[in-house]
Amino acid sequence: MSNREGFTGGFIAGAAVGGLVGAVLGTVLSRRAAETLLSEPSEAKTRKIRQRKASQLEADSMEVARLSLEDKIAQLNQAIDDVRLQLGDVNGNSQTHNSEGSIAQDS
């Protein structure tokens, strides 16, 4: 009978210690999981904010590039008009600009 009494006491003590260790381990792991879950949305918000800023900067740089290209096109058009005038004078076909900025031949 002494074996049964020792077994019963050891079983109860093992169950109590195992339950205590399981409770502590569950608490620690659940806190870590909760911290991870709570930190992910803030990382997602930060990522979204960065993406918005990047897209805004990209839109601004595209607008600056568009304006720069418009200026370059206007300069090229002016240079083409100047060359046409010079070539017309060389060939004996004098051309003049009318008030609208287009080139017209003198009759």
Q: Is the pLDDT of residue 2 over 80?
A: no
Task: Look over the chain and give the mean of its residue pLDDT values, rounded to a whole number.
Answer: 81
pLDDT of res. 83: 92
- Hey, which residues does 97 pair with through a beta bridge? 103
pLDDT tens digits along 68-97: 999 999 999 999 999 998 888 776 665 555
Residue 95 burial (C-beta neighbours within 10 Å; 0-12, 13-18, 19+): middle
pLDDT tens digits along 19-63: 999 999 999 988 888 877 776 666 777 788 888 888 888 989 999
**Sign of the four-CA dihedral 77, 82, 87, 93:** positive
pLDDT of res. 94: 56
